[in-house]
A and B are shown apart, each in its own frame.
Chain A
Amino acid sequence: MTTTAPRNGATDPVTVEVVRNTLAAIADEMALDLQQGSYNMMIYEVRDFCCALIDKRGRLLAQNVGGVSHFVADLGVVITDALERFGEDGFRPGDGYLMNHQRVAGQHLNNMVTYTPVIIDGELFGFAMTRAHWSDVGGMSTGFGARGAGVDAWLEGLQIDQLKLIDEGVYDEKALKIIADNIRFPDAALGDMRAQFAACRAAEQRLTELVRRYGVPEVQAAIEEVFDSTEARCRTVVAAMADGEYHAHSVMDHDFADLDVPVDIDVTVTVSGSDMTIDLTRCSEQRKGSINARTLAGAYVAYKALTTPMEPVNEGSFRALNVEINEGNFMMAKFPAPMASWSVALPTVVDTVITALADAQPELIPAAHFGTLGGSFAFFGQDPASGPFVAQGIEGGGWGGRPGEDGASASVSVCQGDVRNSPVEALELRFPVRVEKRALREDSGGAGKHRGGLGQLTEIRNLVEGSWRLSMAGRHICPPWGLWGGDTALPGGHALQRPGGDFEPVNGRVNAPADSVARIFTGGGGGWGSPLERPVSQVADDVRRGYVSAQTATDVYGVVLDESGAPDEAASARRRDELAAVSSSAVSSASASSAGAAAAASPAGASSAGASSAGAEGAGR
């Protein structure tokens, strides 16, 4: 007999692996159920939702893969709050809770949380939870929620604070009626809610099966090992980075209320051994406008991308990370601060954290991406033919050039994962609109050895009168920055053309007569490395394919093309020498400030260059 017993004191490796795989599979199954059973495109098409299993201490056991990444590991606080209020004994099998209150949840009110307790043989084990974007929660706007000056939590919509909607399997009909009477599309929202609770119920069953089979202590021990091993994987990555303090800074144009006061995003990342601290305390304080939130997502998404991007998320994913953030920071705002635009700054926050570490992880970090939540649009009103409607969509932007290759064009932000755009044909089948153009924006990507991806330009004609909600947290002051000598990209925005008029910039909700055309344009990604190092043939290909204009090829890349579009090698070499002479005198001071500061200098350096292009941006050509 050559067999020996497994090492003592450790959980059976098979049980650990089974628990790891099964918990993740349950969360994914919830997501599939919710997505396919849902009633609004923000869930089924945009995938603006998450599903998770939480233990009875509020720790994340598993979260679905895909969906919106800025929901990462953010459901635990809801449970911690519920446990404080109701106690561990406060839950019965069959109960179901609804929650969107910003006091704890800290997001826009459209993001409705449902959860049900998982009680096994009379003992609370944990919770099955979903968070999903309802198309309406009342308030002064619909689709993506209220935005702009003078908005508070009550104008934003219906607030639901840890409401037990289902009592041991029985819905509270009065509460349901109040909800239904105070939102614009009750059929859709309550349909979504049913799908959310159905996903929770399915997960309860699956989790119970798992725990019954292996036993509570065994599963709990396995969960601890899953957390430990996840943490260890993250630590391995951080330990390979050079110890030190890394810094980067960027700004959003405004908070939607004080339009001339930028929102500061100032990040210091400290690496010490396998520990990482992300310090956000020097970011803007809580603001008058709706850009506020209570979220750690900016730090979490960045850390996840840096450490274990392809692994499922659990509590262990963030245990080796310390996030410093003060109460009253715009990302840790106090109720009743307006939060309708809670997530708009997050892609830029993530980019700023990542950029700070460009020196520590040069083989991974790309130049900045477009940094907003895409080109979002909503058109709503009354169709004389079919009644009230809200058409919505999110257009992607460009990603930064990266080590080894160009950035991707027309992709969602780092916070949006599996979010998809709305098909032209789906929009036109359902809503009184006609999409006239959906195109890549020439020259919108930052020039570089590895070019930034292109933003998009979409034009939609409304066939009936209605309201457009066209709002974007601007990145004109600090457009998407380049890295290692790459150029900044063009930022995005919105414009509207009323019948007979020209396109005029808009930011917010506007009424539009029939036959107006909304233009949604998104930013590109920054360039990586000097454009003068981009192979001439690649620049010629870019021009032939219409990604880069011939003008930019000559002015920025130093590539001269003949009439057939073929590069003139000799003329290009001369042109590149000229451009190199000009830029070496201009940037000598910047490059002198040590390699370590180069990355951190990029966003700040970009801000001055960006300001001049902001004015020219106008209606987005």
Chain B
Amino acid sequence: MNWVWFYRLGSPLWFYQTTTRWLPWLGLLAFILLTIGLVWGLGFAPQDAKQGNSFRIIYMHVPASFLALAGYFLMATAGAIGLIWKMKLSYMVMKAAAPIGAALTFLALFTGAVWGKPTWGSYWVWDARITSMLILLFLYFGVLALQYAFHNEEASNKASAILALIGTVNIPIIYKSVDWWYTLHQPSTIKLTSAPSMHPDMFQPLLVMILGFYCFYVVALCLFTRVEILRRERKTGWVGDLVGELNGSTEGKRQ
């Protein structure tokens, strides 16, 4: 089997150059999808018969929760690849995924709280789903904190990766929490194995929002990874060339 692509994927320079080319387009796509999804969901989707307009929070809550979980899985996988193959880029991706995941988990908890108040009468309950999401937030914080806990970069990368891997135990618990325990949180609206328990008029904008969040996540992850690449490769020739090119072009404009 030809493994060239695998090694090329591990090259920070290759990653940087490729993302420079297609990031603007992906960013535009994410912006368009999120704008359409949000306007559609907030202004055009029909009201929920029981929850009224507060249900519209679903258009932010569900995509943010999806990506908070998928992002954790990605972070742990990147950590595992780093541990096994010692791939530099993989650790950079792991490091980049931590702040994004923490922000999205916070978003899931916040939108859940402002949805809970009009629906359950309380901003916060110690329900299985919500508590396990809070643990997810702390796991992200833990991975972030371990990055600064060691002077040796190798050691902090390894420690972060191991914590991320151990934390994956929490992921199936979050998924299954609404089935295993009697919870206030409603069961999943979307299941892979059956039709969504939602009217298509409500479901279609949600699908657009989820797609938009996925695109957004890739853009944000690439942007954070690029910063990490530049930081670690700042002494190398190609970063110097890049800076030279940028300075050359601005000087050219001034003249």
Co-assembled chains A and B: no
User: Which residues in A have some Cβ–Cβ distance to B below 8 Å?
Assistant: none
User: Which residues in B have some Cβ–Cβ distance to A below 8 Å?
Assistant: none
